[in-house]
Amino acid sequence: MVDIGVTRRIFRTILVTSTILCAAQANAQTVEDLQRQINELKAQIKALTEMRAASAPAAPAPAALEPVVSAQVAAASPSSASASTDVADTVAIATNVSAPQPAAVKGTPPRTAEPWYDRLLLRGYTQLRYNALLSGDRTAPDGQARLRSPHDSSINDDGGFSLRRVRLVLQGRITDDVSLYLQQDLGTAVNNQSSTERREHFGQLRDAYVDWFLDKGHSFRLRFGQSKVPFGWENLQSSSNRITLDRSDAINSAAPGERDLGVVAYYTPPRVQVIWDRLAENGQKLFGNYGAFGIAAYNGQGVNRTERNGSLMKVAMGTWPLELDGLGDAFRGQVLELGGAAMLNRIRPEVRSGGVSDRDFDDNRVALHAILYPQPFGIQTEWTWGRGPQFDAASGAIEDKSLSGGYVQLNYDVGKTPVGRILPYGRWQRYRGGWKASVNAPRLETDEIELGVEWRFKDALELTVAYANMKRREADERRIGRAEGNLIRTQLQWTY
């Protein structure tokens, strides 16, 4: 019995060696010498073919073999027509006795499939902060408010550097009509450790959702999972894209942490998308494409909190950009965006005695927004009204109370300069109402002015420096009154 593997190796060696030899010696040989070598090669191949015929049927060779061998042999004697004909016959024999190709493995994706690394993107950003208290109520006696902010824990007795955010995002397409988004924050803290000391820089889930696009133009989508609540324009805007250091108390009070677990439907008309795309190309700080219209249902208890009452939070939001070119040359290219949102919810706040309240509280509110994009001068404002849980000092218990507040912000886009892009801004904010994310839903009384400038001196590096005058009631129902202070606030952000 002939060893098929050995036979194949012998044949391939003879074929390749003979072909190369012919190519190397062609110019020094006569046509007769070349014909003699070809006849010898034919005889060898014929013998091998007869030996193999008894054990296995012939199989076609790879298509790539024929042009390579033909080109080599043709180069050996381009002037000899008879030799070329014989060589072609020899190649035909060789291709009939080559080894068969292995069958494709079942389940292996086709070679033309788009690789995973072209469908997924890993990105993120980090914010390093330092707050310097120039004057004010850094400390206070027990029962009196200290200068604190629910948005920045580094405004405290000791100050120092802090990592405000350390975000890492994995996003991309699963299929043409399904995409994923997963975001972790590695800059969160855990309280209630030994000796009540905080532990910094724990990882916490921020976003985990999938989008299902229901049309070819990707105008209509359904979002499932943990994602931002479509209430408030600046709530939806990423912190990496927001010009001010923190969100306003009033708007953010609707959804501290900005997220919850549920289902959302978003719709963006194509003509609205065209306007937003133009603004993005011009470097405007958009709120992110959360749809011109959105309607959602969430658990309603808050980000990363277990649902407690079985009722769902209902939210609806709409926003529409208006091009102002028709108002004259002074408004050419300007865009004014108007919109609003509404929320209906029942919530059980965390209580100081442990756990959550044993009864539901109203958490209903509306909000309006208007944004004139800075080209170069811009105005941004939002205001909200409603009712929510709030600690009442007189009764010593949480009650349903009214709330209201908002902000007015002025922006100016200096544009690109020799030292980078510069955007000065000023903001005034006010809020009177409960802060449902803190224990016992304490009442906040906020009046604040912030003047600052954002300087992007590198594509991946952005520095914000601001002066803030704060008058705040601390988010702790055990402390009364308001604290005041003046601060210099700084933040360095790098994106990747």
In this prediction, residues 127-136 reach a mean pLDDT of 96
pLDDT of 166 higher than 60: yes
Highest mean pLDDT among 11-20, 182-191, 193-202, 216-225: 216-225
The 10s digit of each residue's pLDDT in 320-361 is 999 999 888 888 889 999 999 999 999 999 999 999 999 999
Name the residue type at position 306. T
- Residue 214's CB is within 10 A of a number of other CB atoms, namely 12
> Which pLDDT value is given to residue 9?
59
E strands, 247-292, where? 259-267
Rg (alpha carbons) of the chain, rounded to whole number: 36
Q: Which amino acid is at 5?
A: G
Give the C-alpha separation, 488 to 241, whole Å.
21
Tokens of 338: 């108007």
In this structure, what token pair is assigned to residue 305? 């909190």
Q: What is the 3-state secondary structure (H, E, C) of 380-449?
A: EEEEEEEEEEEEECCCCEEEEEEEEEEEEEEEECCEEECCEEEEEEEEEEEEEEECCCCCCCCEEEEEEE
Confidence of residue 81 (pLDDT cuts 50, 70, 90): very low
Both tokens of 86, joined, read 């014989």
Length of the chain: 496
Write the burial class of residue 154 (CB in 10 Å: 0-12 exposed, 13-18 middle, 19+ buried): middle
Short-list 238, 236, 234, CA closest to 247: 234
Does residue 61 or residue 149 have the better pLDDT? 149
Look up residue 375 and give its amino acid: Q
Query: Nearest to residue 474, comparing CAs of 131, 148, 9?
Result: 148
- Per the CB < 8 A criterion, the answer to whether 382 and 407 are in contact is yes
Average pLDDT, the chain: 85
* CA–CA separation, 284 and 415 (whole Å): 10
User: How much of the chain exceeds pLDDT 70, in percent?
Assistant: 80
> What span, in angstroms and rounded, lies between the C-alpha atoms of 279 and 431?
31
How sure is the predictor about 190, in pLDDT bands with cuts at 50, 70 and 90?
confident
* Over residues 265-271, mean pLDDT: 97
Top-confidence residue, 47 or 472: 472
**What is the distance between the alpha carbons of residues 404 and 249, in angstroms, rounded to a whole number?**
10
Q: What is the model's pLDDT at position 488? A: 98
pLDDT of residue 15: 54
Give the chain's count of helices (H) and strands (E).
7, 19
Q: What is the maximum span of the chain, computed from C-alpha positions, in angstroms?
A: 118
In this prediction the pTM is 0.76
SS3 187: strand
Pick from 53, 35, 39, 41: nearest CA to 96 = 53
Provide the token pair at 244.
């001010």
Which long-range contacts link 271-277 to residues 24+ away (Cβ below 8 Å)?
272/320, 272/321, 273/219, 275/321, 275/323, 275/335, 276/321
Please determine, for residue 289, whether its predicted confidence score (pLDDT) is greater than 70: yes
What average pLDDT does the segment 436-453 reach?
98
Mean pLDDT of 270-285: 95
Q: Tell the residue number behind the tokens 């008309």, with chain if given.
A: 269
pLDDT at res. 68: 36
Asked if residue 61 has pLDDT above 70, the reply is no
Share of the chain above pLDDT 90, in %: 69
Q: Which residues, 6+ apart, have CB-to-CB distance to 30 below 8 Å?
A: none
Tell me how far apart the alpha carbons of residues 123 and 166 are, in angstroms, rounded to a whole number.
Answer: 11
